[in-house]
Chains A and B, each alone.
Chain A
């Protein structure tokens, strides 16, 4: 079923919207949650919460791209859970590793106007992503948005793990340089 039709089902308050979402995007959402949590039960819970949140938010929202809309919800829910994990010191998955890799090139947060600053950095990040080759950009996003393991990325792109690592390292260095050029203190 087309995304537009599924969104219409949400607007019509038809419970079929959930089953259609589950059928089309269940696997996608599960993979996002699992990459972050590395726990099947918690991932499943996140995915179910995603459907519930979508049910509550549509209407009034009318997402233009249902996949990323649901993906963002799942990612946020899973990251919230992950924060609890780390607070309880039972962290798992790729998040910590991925964030450690990135932490060197993202500015420190001790600012009052952090939210505005975040938007500015996100804008730079978008420009930076646009400047990358398609493959490098996809690899970057797979690692830092989807938190996919290096091994999985290498398998999906049919390249070696060392090439993935090299691509990511170059991208991080380029991002760091751009942020410095933009006068964002590290």
Chain B
């Protein structure tokens, strides 16, 4: 039988060659180990980012804390976000701002701070884009200002409804910088 003969002849080859080719216990290639590690780290980072993003989307309190952490430039005070459903709105941006500032003073939304009203509120508007405007409002005490963030939300066959989405206390210097940047 030819096969048997092949097997017999192969059995007679030098031992050196047999030993040389012996299957080794598989060792991970160094690059492979590193790639595996990087892949695991990537997966962990991705999981963290996804969880972080989810929590950020659903929890307003957490969102405020994160924004305050990452954008400490404005102030040490955190951004107070007004949740959807608690926002008052108007088709006119100035009406919306005035209504909010009245409420701000009436409800004493930030203790010890009131929007200065002297024949009307005093503010500077800083448009971000067509549908978003920030207003820097003069306050008492004058060392602090109120940053009011407004957005125009789409509303049934109209040009949109202006709403105050968030507000934040900022210091005078930050307010000036913001206004300089705008100009």
The residue on B at minimum CB distance from A103 is: B2
Q: Does A23 contact B (CB under 8 A)?
A: no
Among B1, B13, B24, B26: residue with most chain A CB under 10 A: B13
Which of these binds chain B: A8-16, A42-50, A53-61, A133-141?
A133-141
Within 8 A of A (CB), among B28-69: 29
Given A99-B6, A106-B6, A109-B5, verify A137-B13 contact (CB < 8 Å). no
In the bound assembly, the distance between CA atoms of A158 and B24 in angstroms comes to 13
Which of these binds chain A: B15-23, B101-109, B116-124, B151-159?
B15-23
Residues of A within 8 A of B112 (CB): none
The answer to whether A141 and B5 touch across the interface, beta carbons within 8 angstroms, is: no
Q: What mask results when residues 38 to 74 of chain A are scored 1 for a CB within 8 Å of chain B, else 0?
A: 0000000000000000000000000001011101100
In the bound assembly, the distance between CA atoms of A79 and B139 in angstroms comes to 95
Residues of B within 8 A of A72 (CB): 11, 18
Nearest-neighbour CB distance to chain A for B19, whole angstroms, equals 5
Q: Does B73 contact A (CB under 8 A)?
A: no
The answer to whether A141 and B6 touch across the interface, beta carbons within 8 angstroms, is: no
The answer to whether B2 and A141 touch across the interface, beta carbons within 8 angstroms, is: no
In the bound assembly, the distance between CA atoms of A103 and B3 in angstroms comes to 7
The answer to whether B21 and A142 touch across the interface, beta carbons within 8 angstroms, is: yes
Given A65-B15, A142-B23, verify A109-B2 contact (CB < 8 Å). yes
In the bound assembly, the distance between CA atoms of A102 and B170 in angstroms comes to 84
In the bound assembly, the distance between CA atoms of A152 and B13 in angstroms comes to 22
- Select which of A79, A114, A140 is within 8 A of B7 by beta carbon: A79
In the bound assembly, the distance between CA atoms of A140 and B37 in angstroms comes to 34
The answer to whether B19 and A67 touch across the interface, beta carbons within 8 angstroms, is: yes
Nearest-neighbour CB distance to chain B for A108, whole angstroms, equals 6
Residues of B within 8 A of A152 (CB): 23
In the bound assembly, the distance between CA atoms of A148 and B10 in angstroms comes to 14
The residue on B at minimum CB distance from A126 is: B14
The residue on A at minimum CB distance from B24 is: A156
Nearest-neighbour CB distance to chain A for B1, whole angstroms, equals 7
Nearest-neighbour CB distance to chain B for A83, whole angstroms, equals 7
Q: Does B86 contact A (CB under 8 A)?
A: no
Nearest-neighbour CB distance to chain A for B3, whole angstroms, equals 5
In the bound assembly, the distance between CA atoms of A96 and B7 in angstroms comes to 11
Given A103-B2, A109-B5, verify A137-B20 contact (CB < 8 Å). yes
The residue on B at minimum CB distance from A120 is: B9
Q: Which 3 A-B pairs have the closest CB atoms?
A: A141-B21, A122-B12, A138-B21
Interface residues of B, Cβ cutoff 8 Å to A: 1-15, 17-26, 29
Pull 13 A–B residue pairs with CB atoms less than 8 Å apart, ordered by A.
Answer: A27-B25, A71-B18, A72-B11, A95-B7, A106-B2, A106-B6, A114-B5, A118-B8, A142-B23, A144-B10, A145-B10, A145-B21, A156-B24
Interface residues of A, Cβ cutoff 8 Å to B: 27-28, 31, 65, 67-69, 71-72, 75-76, 79, 83, 95-96, 99, 102-103, 106, 108-109, 114, 118-119, 121-122, 125-126, 129, 134, 137-142, 144-146, 148, 152, 155-156, 158
Known: A69-B15, A118-B9. 6 other contacts (CB 8 A): A106-B9, A108-B2, A129-B17, A137-B17, A141-B13, A145-B18
